[in-house]
Structure 1
Amino acid sequence: MTSAKPFDNQIAVVTAGAQGIGLAPARRMAEEGAIVIIADRAADATQATVDRLRDNGCDVHAAIFDLEKCEGATELYRTVADQFGQIDVAVHNVCGTIWAKPYWDSTPDEICAEINRSVWPTLWCRHAVLPYMLAAGRGSVVNIGSVATRGVNKTPYPAAKDGVAALTAALSLNWKPAVSELAVCDLTVAYPGCRK
């Protein structure tokens, strides 16, 4: 007789789960029984991670989408719902500083690129997944935040990450009356060597 695992029979989506911070929850949930979908736009890196985790007995799948676009997030969650019939956990992790430089030396295109990477994937993914969880009456959403929002030469990135924190707080209040079993939280991650 096998003992039940915490994530047995659950479908979990982890964005940017092929490496770094996103890989940890993807691996852990898969080891604890979840079917995990790793969503990213880097096809080769994502498939390599999926292959490694499968070699360790994990049930993981690659989903290649550009989550900076509404269409990418919508198609991701539509695909997962169609293929697996449910979405129990969504971990939104896409982010990262592209250029560390004084704000006044940043070009408008660089500022837009930083915001596009660090805020839009979470906004679009949250917008795309919540209808499925509302329909099911349950689900858990984790948005990855950062304490590196006051770092030197990082201005667009903290603006984006503080926006993600505000989104998380607002939605946790707005959705609570609608779904009693919908958990929404912000996991703030401390990077080694970051300045608080």
Structure 2
Amino acid sequence: MASPFDLTKRMALVTGGGRGIGAAIVTRLAEAGAHVVIANRSQDVADALAVDLSRRGLGVSTTTFDRLDRSGLGDLVDRVISRFDRLDILVHNAGGCPWAALDDLDEDRLEQALSINLTSAIWLIQSAVPHMRARRYGRILVTSSISSRLAMGGGAHYSVAKAGVNAFIRGAAFELARDGITANVVEPGFISKPGRGSLSTADNLSRIARHIPMGRIGTADDVAYAMLYLASEQASYVTGQTIVVDGGTTLPETGFAVERQWG
């Protein structure tokens, strides 16, 4: 089925694009006509996705992504510009968290959570903006999380990092509004990640789904289609916003409200 959004001739970079949500974002952008550079820590994972998409006639390339400091992320953007001479769409999807209860949180875990989720987004966007500004066009997108607004045991530092992402994007969007550049965030809720962690077991997924108003766990495509919209011309007047993709998880006062409504 043809995409309702046309990204023909657009150049996109997706970090953490090798699997899961990232792979879905890469796929939907490429299906809409963009050439997508998959930046992933595991080159093998990125290459496998690129092979599958290339067989479908979609435009994709790969590059390594293993340094989260300012210099490393600047180098990532420079490599894309050197090869393709432009960067129209930037999706910072890479993220994660070393879980730790408050009593066990140490400097290394806090720094890792902030680096993976927040400071990497800041340095990557800072590196991309001059190239977008030169063309008076850009779409900046970041994958955040509903953890930015909800408490989660063992993840207070992750919540801080994602809330920081949301605040940074609002500020960046304001500064870039006259430059033809939009900046937005997508906050996924519970998204199915088959075979990855204890939350991916059938029993746990079923238990979680009972507390989601829509009654199901989200899919990577649920997030990817929101990203596709925000990357499109149709979203040219949308900036500094957060789209929550969570099946209604953040709507009820508590999980008990869902049980009262649907049993």
The question of 1:153 aligning with 2:175 is answered no
> Which is richer in helix?
2
Query: So what's the TM-score if we normalise by structure 2?
Result: 0.68
Greater mean deviation of Cα atoms: 23-32 or 145-154:
145-154
SS at match of 1:63: strand
Partners of 2:183 and 2:63 lie apart in 1 by: 23
In the TM superposition, what whole-angstrom CA distance separates every residue of 1:38-67 from its partner, at most 9, and x where no partner exists?
Answer: 112222211122122212221111110224
Shift of 1:153: 1.4
Q: Which amino acid aligns with 1:49?
A: L
SS at match of 2:147: coil
SS at match of 2:144: strand
Q: Which amino acid aligns with 1:111?
A: L
In the TM superposition, what are the counterparts of 1:100-139 in structure 2 within 5 Å?
101-139=100-138
The question of 1:56 aligning with 2:56 is answered yes
- Moved runs in structure 1, 4+ residues, more than 2 A? 192-196
Corresponding position of 1:171: 172
The question of 1:15 aligning with 2:40 is answered no
In the TM superposition, what are the counterparts of 1:180-191 in structure 2 within 5 Å?
181-191=180-190
User: CA contact under 8 A between 2:176 and 2:182: conserved in structure 1?
Assistant: no
Considering only aligned residues, what root-mean-square deviation do their CA atoms show, in Å?
Answer: 2.1
In the TM superposition, what whole-angstrom CA distance separates every residue of 1:45-102 from its partner, at most 9, and x where no partner exists?
Answer: 1112212221222111111022411122111111111111111111111111222x31
Q: Which runs of 5 or more structure 1 residues have no equivalent in the other structure?
A: none
Partners of 1:71 and 1:134 lie apart in 2 by: 20
Query: So what's the TM-score if we normalise by structure 1?
Result: 0.90
Shift of 1:107: 2.4
The question of 1:96 aligning with 2:100 is answered no
Shift of 1:188: 1.5
Who wins on radius of gyration, i.e. which is larger?
2
Give the count of matched residue pairs: 192
Q: Which amino acid aligns with 2:49?
A: T
User: CA contact under 8 A between 2:74 and 2:127: conserved in structure 1?
Assistant: yes
Partners of 2:173 and 2:123 lie apart in 1 by: 16
Greater mean deviation of Cα atoms: 16-25 or 162-171:
16-25
Shift of 1:159: 0.8
User: CA contact under 8 A between 1:146 and 1:188: conserved in structure 2?
Assistant: yes
Partners of 1:46 and 1:145 lie apart in 2 by: 21
Q: Which amino acid aligns with 2:104?
A: D
Corresponding position of 2:31: 31
Identity in percent = 26
Q: Which runs of 5 or more structure 2 residues have no equivalent in the other structure?
A: 192-207, 209-245, 251-263
Q: Which amino acid aligns with 1:124?
A: W
Partners of 1:141 and 1:96 lie apart in 2 by: 19
Q: Which amino acid aligns with 1:32?
A: A
